[in-house]
Amino acid sequence: MDESQSLLQQFQQDVEEVRVIMHENLIRTEERRETLDELDQRAEKLLKCSKNFAKTTRRPAENQHQRNWIRKGICCAMFLVIIIILLIVIITGTPLSHTSSGDGLSYPEEQYRQNAMLELARSLMQGLDVDFGSLDVSEWDQRLPPPAAKRVVQSLPQLVISPQQADKGLKCPVCLLEFEEQETVREMPCKHLFHSSCILPWLGKTNSCPLCRLELPTDNPDYEQFKKDKDRRRQRDHRLEDLHGAMYT
């Protein structure tokens, strides 16, 4: 009898222990579930924040794109007005005579002026489909030019400092240390001299001379095209200035 009671008590204890363990596991499961729910809520908040951030960062670019189109429209209208005015002046101008014109100009002078005005109008019409791209803010106007082309850097001449150059106290423009006699240096196309340890890392970041900003070729096709377009715009502006000046001389 005593043995049966002891077994029963032991069984009840085991059952109670199992019940406690199951209860603890249930509590832990609920806690984990709450933790997972909290993590899900945080993830949703972070996702919303990232979407809002993407919208705010995208909006300035969209506004800049709209402003560029507005500037394009304004420039287009200005070009058209200038062309119309030039054509009106040419068409309604004083008839040419082989002796003189109404304002006292000789025939060659009047002919030259009208030719200049026609050339100016033609250049402006050509500029309508060329200059619009320049109105967009290029990334190269806002950042450092790319590194110099590796082949160009490797082909930079190496010179040995002569006693005369050392006596003059020539300095490296980067580190500002004087060159020593018989020291080997690098010469840029602009004839400026640099320590190899100074100029090579520099050209690995950007393509220009640290002293005079003379640019070397790069391996970046986009930047090379940007430079070509910039040169063409500069030449066209000079040409238009010359034509404009010829009309009033």
pLDDT at 210: 92
pLDDT at 162: 94
pLDDT classification of 50: cutoffs 50, 70, 90:
low
Question: How many residues does the structure list for the chain?
Answer: 249
Put simply, whether the predicted model's pTM sits higher than 0.75 gets the answer no
Checking 133-140 for CB contacts under 8 A at 24+ apart, the result is 133/229, 134/229, 134/233, 135/68, 135/71, 135/72, 135/75, 136/68, 137/64, 137/68, 138/226, 140/222, 140/223, 140/226
pLDDT classification of 135: cutoffs 50, 70, 90:
very low
Q: What is the mean pLDDT of the chain?
A: 74
pLDDT at 206: 92
Query: Cα separation of 171 and 168, whole Å?
Result: 9
pLDDT at 94: 46
The full set of domain ranges for the chain reads 2-138+239-247, 147-219
Query: Cα separation of 128 and 236, whole Å?
Result: 12
* Structure tokens, 99: 């002796």
**CATH superfamily membership of 147-219:** Zinc/RING finger domain, C3HC4 (zinc finger) (3.30.40.10)
Q: Quick check: 202 and 210 in contact, CB under 8 A?
A: yes
- Between residues 46 and 183, the one the model is more confident about: 183
pLDDT at 36: 67
Angle between helices 2-91 and 107-128 (to 10 degrees): 170
Percent of the residues in the chain that have a pLDDT greater than 70, as a whole number? 58
Residue 97: pLDDT above 50?
Answer: no
